[in-house]
Structure 1
Amino acid sequence: MSTIQSLQPHLLWQWFAQLCAIPHPSHHEEQVAKFMLDWAKQQGLYAERDEAGNVLIRKPATAGMEDRKGIALQAHLDMVPQANEGTVHDFTKDPIQPYIDGEWVKAKGTTLGADNGIGLASAMAVLESTDLAHPELEVLLTMTEEAGMDGAKGLRPNWLTSPIMINTDTEENGEIYMGCAGGLDANAEMPVELEANSFTHSYQLVLKGLRGGHSGGDIHTGRANAIKVLARFLAEFSQKQPHFAFGLSDIRGGSVRNAIPREAFATLHFNGDVAQLKSAVEKFEILLQQELALAEPSLTLTLAETAKTTHVFNHHSTQTVIHWLNSLPNGVIRNSDVVEGVVETSLSLGVLQTTETKVHAIILIRSLIESGKEYVQSQLQSLTEMLGGHVAFSGNYPGWAPHSDSEIMQLTKTLYDEVLGYESVVKVIHAGLECGLIKEKYPNIDVVSIGPTIHNAHSPDEKVHIPAVQIYWELLSKILANAPKK
């Protein structure tokens, strides 16, 4: 910890080090929320939690800033828990282990939690600072953003008093976000019928080494979805080798709904020639390595003998599951006609699990427009129900519509250009931010989003750029010191 605590700005990195030491994956933020609340009360600041568990801390304006509009700094308390295969890490108990690698801070074998831990740390650093000029300040820390935006959905009305809000969840230096996609969760189930396992061979097919990443911010990059790739192999093998009968007993992949799956597994049982299956796997691995040489340079597809199960999916269920997964739409559906270079609508098959009676898929749909979500929803429902399955939709949250006349956006752009020495870029993004939900409760609040460069969020390759954190801190300090007059 002492290594990152030595970085500048000191207070921000000190708070981030404390955050890394407190486990806070989605649905397990209680410890860190209580820590923030207790610290604020010890400082004599107003601090309270609402019915959803969100934390709100208030700090009075510094001398001479009383005539400026109040500003709320907003961050979320949770992080995405992802670990590399072979890394033993209990995210509910074990601390994140950050380290410095050149100009970057990374974590040993796991997600770093810079998303949104750097933003959270910056807000706490502002509260603790004694030499920053700022107007009346509110810090809003929300619960369970990464797993459904529960805190923003349950945010207490008439609680925030600030007319301006700075969301700290942007992940690219030099960019200002003024709009984002909305989202919808799809929980799809395909029933399976079991029969006694009369097969002689049992093997597990393992796809590993994919890059994964953020299912919104990285959905357009060509990174492969491990579940979809595995389904493709099984479908093509079935079609090319129709006399090679096999049954599945398990198929799974991914671990969180908003990350592109990096690994997938399928357990096959068969009587056929093992060498025939191994040859098909080896050829398909070579094909994938050629197709995805740039996007997925570390991809591996292997076959290993495994224990025999007592039951397997019958032939019909095996083929239905394979063709369902192979046919499910995934990735970019449409690019925006309104905002150049931005994905309008996408979906990502994030998690696949097998129980005795069904295969369950968790899919996250994103779109800048409501009709985009509705279109994909209809596609998923048609395909799944046609094959005898069922899909339920939940967790719908709105996008954040951009407003070009935003006072705080214009101020932020002017100051950002000064800090950078070149022009910053105002963008609408495909990833989901809490701003749209917060604006539902506070329609008149003027919102902008900023943050430092964070690469590979939602994956164990996550890293934050140290120089960009310094730039972000300088910008945040300037915005606070130049808050608009009331």
Structure 2
Amino acid sequence: MANLSTLQPSALWQFFESICSIPHPSKHEEALATWICQWATEQKLDWQRDEVGNVIIRKAAAAGCEHLQTVVLQAHIDMVPQKGVSSSHNFETDPIETVIDGDWLKANDTTLGADNGIGMASCLAVLAADDIAHGPLEVLLTIDEEAGMTGAFGLQSGVLTGTILINTDSEQEGEIYMGCAGGIDANISFPITREPAQLPHAATITIGGLRGGHSGVDIHLGRGNANKLLARTLFALQQQGDIELVSFNGGSLRNAIPRDANAIVRCADLAALQQQLTTLEAIFRNELVVSEPNLSITLTETDDQQAVLNQASYTTFIQAMMATANGVMAMSQQIDGVTETSSNLGVVTTADDHIKVLCLIRSLIDSARLHTEQAISSTWLLAGASVEMSGCYPGWAPNPDSPVMGLVRQVYQQHFDDEPKIMVIHAGLECGLFKTSYPDLDMVSIGPTIKFPHSPDEKVQISSVANYWTLLVELLKAIPAK
């Protein structure tokens, strides 16, 4: 692991180093939550765990700041577990191996967890500091943000007393976020009928080498979706000759653009199949020449003896996959350069008698999200599948008159002699859910520059962390009186 002790601000980086040493993927963040509570006890800070497992830590105002409004600093505990194909990393047992590369910190072929580990480390560093001017503080660390926002959904009214909430989950230093997209999961189960294989050769087709990324903040970059590319491949192969499908599996998380996918097939001639795949690889590479320079389609012979999908199941499944909405549906008509509505065909898994498909639909506009839900549902219902929509979370409606947003802008201008960008993010932040139980909270989201979250290419800009820390500390000093 990289030595982070020389980086500034040192307290923040020391906490991030500790966070990286304790496994904390979504659904498995208990060890880190326990460590945080033990640390709070050692610091003689008041803390509690709520019914769903969120950690709330309170710190009294610094001397002379008792008159300031109570601020809630908020981050989420979990991280997205994504790794390269050749990595043997176990996110449930292994620490994150960090690597310093110039002005960037990244991990060794895995996600880094800067999303939202840097924000969490900054919250703990503020709690640990005795030289920061601040009013009463409440630090809210939520669980399971990346896999379902369980902590935000479960936060009860009356737990927090703060009037201002600073979310630390944004990913571009110099930008202030005052709104975000809402989202919903489309859970699809397509029944399949199997029959004995007729073709002699079994092989695995793998789409790989893709960059992946965050299905919200990176969806507009035009990157390849491995599940869609594999569906196109299987569709083309079926049009060109005899092919049988045994299984289709791709992606691992609904909120990560899938980087790889594979299908076990049977064919009459492996050499002919390889030639067809070489042609398709060239087509895909030409289409994605900038966004996916390392795209590959590989064929590996196997001795798989499973029954295959009958041709009706194969045809209907692949046609539904081809028709499923994916990528950017619409750009915002109100905010230049911001995605309004999108869908990510994130995960496909094959069982004996059905294939499961999981999509994450996002939108800044509820009616546009509903339209995309209906389009995807209609596609799969016509195909004979069952469709369930779940995990709906609201967007965070922008408030251009937000006092704390104006304050952040003012503080940023004073300390960096520059005008910050006021933004709405297409990713899902927990702020919209907080509004449900705390409708009067004045909220804003800030953070350092994090590139390619939710992929093994994730990295955080070290210099931006220092700027983010300065902004956070100065903002706490400038909080108005009660």
Length-normalised TM-score, structure 2 = 0.99
Q: Secondary structure at the match of 2:266?
A: strand
Instruction: Kindly provide the CA deviation profile for residues 330-361 of structure 1, in whole angstroms up to 9, marking residues without a partner as x.
Output: 01111122222211111101111000011111
Root-mean-square deviation (CA, aligned residues, Å) is 1.0
Q: Is the 1:174–1:420 Cα contact (8 Å) retained in structure 2?
A: no
Q: Secondary structure at the match of 2:220?
A: coil
Instruction: Kindly provide the CA deviation profile for residues 280-300 of structure 1, in whole angstroms up to 9, marking residues without a partner as x.
Output: 100111121122111001111
Q: What amino acid is the match of 2:310?
A: N
Name the stretch that deviates more: 274-283 or 22-31.
Answer: 274-283
Q: Is the 2:2–2:99 Cα contact (8 Å) retained in structure 1?
A: no
Distance 2:196 2:4 in 1: 56
Distance 1:433 1:483 in 2: 23
Q: What amino acid is the match of 2:436?
A: E
Q: Report sequence identity in percent.
A: 49
Give the deviation of 1:474 after TM superposition. Answer: 0.3
Instruction: Kindly provide the CA deviation profile for residues 390-435 of structure 1, in whole angstroms up to 9, marking residues without a partner as x.
Output: 1101000000001111111001011112233211100011110000
Name the stretch that deviates more: 197-206 or 389-398.
Answer: 197-206
Matched, 1:433 2:434: no
Q: What amino acid is the match of 2:134?
A: H
Determine the structure 2 residue equivalent to 1:295. 291
Give the deviation of 1:308 after TM superposition. Answer: 2.5
Determine the structure 2 residue equivalent to 1:148. 148
Distance 2:223 2:414 in 1: 35
Determine the structure 2 residue equivalent to 1:401. 397
Distance 2:98 2:185 in 1: 32
Determine the structure 2 residue equivalent to 1:477. 473
Q: Is the 1:61–1:136 Cα contact (8 Å) retained in structure 2?
A: yes
Determine the structure 2 residue equivalent to 1:175. 175
Q: Secondary structure at the match of 1:3?
A: coil
Instruction: Kindly provide the CA deviation profile for residues 105-134 of structure 1, in whole angstroms up to 9, marking residues without a partner as x.
Output: 000111000000000000000000111111
Determine the structure 1 residue equivalent to 2:224. 224
Quick one: which of 369, 375, 378 aligns to 2:374? 378
Q: Secondary structure at the match of 1:4?
A: coil
Quick one: which of 355, 376, 395 aligns to 1:359? 355
Quick one: which of 443, 459, 465 aligns to 1:463? 459
Determine the structure 2 residue equivalent to 1:391. 387
Determine the structure 2 residue equivalent to 1:423. 419
Give the deviation of 1:237 after TM superposition. Answer: 2.6
Q: Secondary structure at the match of 2:17?
A: helix
Q: What amino acid is the match of 1:55?
A: V
Matched, 1:276 2:272: yes
Distance 2:92 2:259 in 1: 21
Determine the structure 2 residue equivalent to 1:130. 130
Give the deviation of 1:2 after TM superposition. Answer: 5.9
Q: What amino acid is the match of 2:219?
A: I
Matched, 1:257 2:254: yes
Distance 2:375 2:306 in 1: 35
Q: Is the 1:72–1:165 Cα contact (8 Å) retained in structure 2?
A: yes
Length-normalised TM-score, structure 1 = 0.98
Give the deviation of 1:277 after TM superposition. Answer: 1.4
Q: What amino acid is the match of 2:9?
A: P
Instruction: Kindly provide the CA deviation profile for residues 5-41 of structure 1, in whole angstroms up to 9, marking residues without a partner as x.
Output: 2210000000000000000000001111111111112
Distance 1:285 1:383 in 2: 27
Q: Secondary structure at the match of 1:220?
A: helix
Quick one: which of 445, 448, 451 aligns to 1:449? 445
Aligned length: 482
Q: Secondary structure at the match of 1:179?
A: strand
Distance 1:75 1:376 in 2: 30
Matched, 1:248 2:248: no
Q: Secondary structure at the match of 1:84?
A: coil
Q: Is the 1:106–1:463 Cα contact (8 Å) retained in structure 2?
A: yes
Distance 2:105 2:95 in 1: 15
Q: What amino acid is the match of 1:284?
A: L
Q: Is the 1:143–1:151 Cα contact (8 Å) retained in structure 2?
A: yes
Q: Secondary structure at the match of 1:216?
A: coil
Q: Is the 1:419–1:471 Cα contact (8 Å) retained in structure 2?
A: no
Give the deviation of 1:459 after TM superposition. Answer: 0.2
Q: Secondary structure at the match of 1:5?
A: coil
Distance 1:439 1:101 in 2: 39
Name the stretch that deviates more: 322-331 or 455-464.
Answer: 322-331
Name the stretch that deviates more: 474-483 or 275-284.
Answer: 275-284
Q: What amino acid is the match of 1:82?
A: Q
> Which aligned pairs between 1:64-83 and structure 2 lie closer than 5 A?
64-83=64-83
Determine the structure 2 residue equivalent to 1:40. 40
Structure 1 runs (4+) deviating above 4 angstroms are: none
Matched, 1:349 2:345: yes
Distance 1:60 1:180 in 2: 31
Instruction: Kindly provide the CA deviation profile for residues 182-233 of structure 1, in whole angstroms up to 9, marking residues without a partner as x.
Output: 0100111111101112320111111111000000001111011010011112
Structure 2 residue runs without a partner (length 5+):
none
Q: What amino acid is the match of 2:344?
A: S
> Which aligned pairs between 1:148-167 and structure 2 lie closer than 5 A?
148-167=148-167
Name the stretch that deviates more: 84-93 or 114-123.
Answer: 84-93
Q: Is the 1:246–1:315 Cα contact (8 Å) retained in structure 2?
A: no
Structure 1 residue runs without a partner (length 5+):
none
Matched, 1:84 2:84: yes
Distance 2:171 2:306 in 1: 48
Q: Secondary structure at the match of 2:286?
A: helix
